[in-house]
Amino acid sequence: MSASEVDDLPDDDDPYAPVQSPRLWRDELWTARVIKNEDDEGWAVSMTRHGESEPALVAPWTMGRDKKNPKPLDAPAFHTWVKTASEVIRRHEQQLHALLHKSVMVSTDGGRVKVMLDIDPDEHEPTATLSAVDARGEEIARRKVAPDFRLDSASAAAWLARLA
């Protein structure tokens, strides 16, 4: 940690105490830290949500007027970074949800059926469940499948045909 980063830290022992300094801003949920950009000679802002070990976002930061040091953080910039980092996390969560919960609609003699694949990504023993609901929302079938089961219209139709 550089001397300037040490100067930005509060005197108390609370790692989440509010801070508003030129290179470190912190509120009850987020910490923004201006850091040296490892990829070039510029600066970056690292946004970390409290309790997380890795930053949610690291992005380029503006140089100051002297073209050497970073522009100081301020309230509007901090709030913009919080909004941006929150969006990154939200998009990541949406993407993960889409990977773990898939569905397709299949036409059958009995009407339209929604077939769903729900994956439990347990680190040691991932599992998956294939289920089907009719147009009224009533479950008509459920079974365990491999977590790498490929759900598409053809595999769903084939599964439903075997049930009939």
As a whole number, mean pLDDT of residues 4-13 equals 50
Task: Name the residue with higher pLDDT: 47 or 122.
Answer: 47
Two tokens at 49?
């949500």
Residue 6 has pLDDT above 50, yes or no: no
Nearest partner of 35 among 25, 48, 26, 45, judged by Cα: 45
Q: What is the pLDDT of residue 23?
A: 95
